[in-house]
Amino acid sequence: MRWLVMVSLVLAGCLAERQGAVGTQDGSGTDASDTAVGPTDTAVGPTDTVFANDTLAAHDTAVSDVLDVTLPNDGVGDTASDTWAAEDVITLGCPQAVITVAEGSEVSPQTVLHLSSSGSNGLAPIAGYQWTVEQPSGSVSVFLPSASGPTATFEVNVVGTYLFHLRVVDAEGRPSCQLATFVVHVGAPEGIHVELLWTTPNDEDETDTGFTSFGDSVGSDVDLHFLHPIARADDGGPGWFDSRYDCYWSNVAPNWGGAGVSDDPSLDRDDTDGAGPENLNLAYPEPGVAYRIGVHYWDDWGFSVAFATVRVYVYGELVYASAPQELNRLELWDVGTLTWGTNAFVPTAPPDVTTNYPVPFF
């Protein structure tokens, strides 16, 4: 008589999670005279089964008159007459976590990803989910509506690589042995892409958004400025807050250069409640033009000092990443210039920070 048992090959790491007695190491495999003992049961006869928590020892063999074995085609234990290695484990019933992302593995900043666990499976229905993510430094995005449902959305705002992980638990309480992982690369193919990120030490939760019931922001408001050299202030200096030639929160899509929008910058993300990022893109910069980048601390909303970081990308390649710059409310940091053609960013040195910078329309 033959026992039909479906098994899967897993790594040695699962041994720590699934402990059980080993088969008798007599070289003859698990047959009617041997025992594969779990916590409460013994496989000794043609009508008994080999339990999920039992392992076959290194010297035991699954012989053809005992088990039909279905394993990955990796050369170890692939047929009924192969010898099981020490790390091979019978894992009947171990659920498998599977991640799908509707938008794929390569996207642009501000993409909202739709993650699903619908491909996850097991002998019992999947009943529990736990999503986690490894994201680039400066990103504070979270899973919505939660990290414990069968589906979730996640907005990727910072350039870099995101590793999404999923564990599942079936209705009988068995967790998945292996962590499912899906890798998403976020790139910025535009000619110029600028990121502003910041931290506010006194803000205990930089992931929250919106306003309090009293109308106060739940986080600090730091703003990115991108200046055309035509911009001029009344005193002849750089024209921060220029109504046409400064691209910032009050002028998110100015008309620069020639006809059309390809040579016009756009502020694609304005963050008013902490951490950022604020993102600016310019597809086709004007040859020879020196664009200036600045950061203004608009309002601290009572959270006090912030530390701002600026990253500049040219056709997806990082050309400049600042050290965190300490800023207080109403201070303006003149970060530096990027001249199109040389594509080199020149930071102000030492950092040029103006206290209580005058805002022209307030």
Say whether both 332 and 196 belong to one domain: yes
Say whether both 226 and 342 belong to one domain: yes
Does 361 map to a domain? no
Give the pLDDT band of residue 68 (cuts 50, 70, 90).
Answer: very low
Say whether both 226 and 349 belong to one domain: yes
Task: Pick the last residue of a domain from 25, 57, 92.
Answer: 92
Confidence (pLDDT) at 303: 83
Does 360 map to a domain? no
Confidence (pLDDT) at 302: 87
Tell me the two tokens of residue 100: 């799908």
With beta carbons less than 8 A apart as the criterion, state whether 52 and 94 touch: yes
Task: Pick the last residue of a domain from 137, 161, 186.
Answer: 186
Q: What is the mean pLDDT of residues 113-133?
A: 97
Confidence (pLDDT) at 121: 95
Q: What is the pTM of this model?
A: 0.72
* Residue 278 amino acid letter: E
Burial class (CB in 10 A: 0-12, 13-18, 19+), 221: buried
**More confident site: 15 or 275:** 275
**More confident site: 81 or 179:** 179
